[in-house]
Amino acid sequence: MRKWQKWLISIILIVLAIPSLILVWPTQLRSVARAINEGFTQLNITPIPWLEVSYWVGVAVLVICFLAIIYVILIPRYRHNVLLHQDGQGELELSEQSIVNYVGTVLASHGIGDPDVKVRATKHKLRVQALGYTSHKEQLEKHLAPITGELDTKLKELIGDDKLTVVSTLTIHQRDRKKIKSPRVV
């Protein structure tokens, strides 16, 4: 879990704790609030209307919960398989790993080696991100857009669904020649 997520969860828990304390210990919390307000009046600070604060915190928590529910309902669901055909006898699916292998084969035919392919599939969209290495980057950068277009069309042909949108991103890096070590012959 990232640091900002931990901070967000802790703030939400603190905000949720205030209204729950009012429900669990109403008399003790009122006496504590009264003592805090008396201390504020001695310091010439205006007292805090605790009932109004707890009401607005409750409204804010309700709105946050409502927005979280809407976010969970509307977020796209990622699938590990792409549905190719479905009928009464069953369904035919194409796995994520087969798409990764197919993209690797297409890229290898263009001289792009060691591809790192990430596939994200939803019901209506297939997103492919490929990172490849080559020893002649300058020559291949001119042909990057046609290779990406060919990859899109080959994936659409493989899947065979016109409703599915295929978006592919291709990034090429040049392999460092110093890191390649040839084996020593003794």
Q: What is the pLDDT along the chain (186 residues), one digit of tens a residue?
A: 677 778 887 787 777 776 676 666 677 777 887 888 888 888 888 887 877 877 787 788 778 878 887 887 777 777 788 887 778 888 888 888 888 898 888 888 887 878 888 988 888 888 999 988 877 766 667 778 888 888 888 888 888 877 888 888 888 777 666 655 667 776
How many domains would you assign to the chain? Answer: 2
Query: Is position 184 within any domain?
Result: no
- 61 in the same domain as 40: yes
- 113 in the same domain as 49: no
Query: Is position 30 within any domain?
Result: yes
Q: How would you classify the pairing of strands 165-174 and 113-121?
A: unpaired
- Domain end call among 74, 105, 137: 74
pTM above 0.75, yes or no: no
- Domain end call among 30, 47, 74: 74
* Host domain of residue 118: 81-174
What's the distance, CA 128 to chain centroid? 15
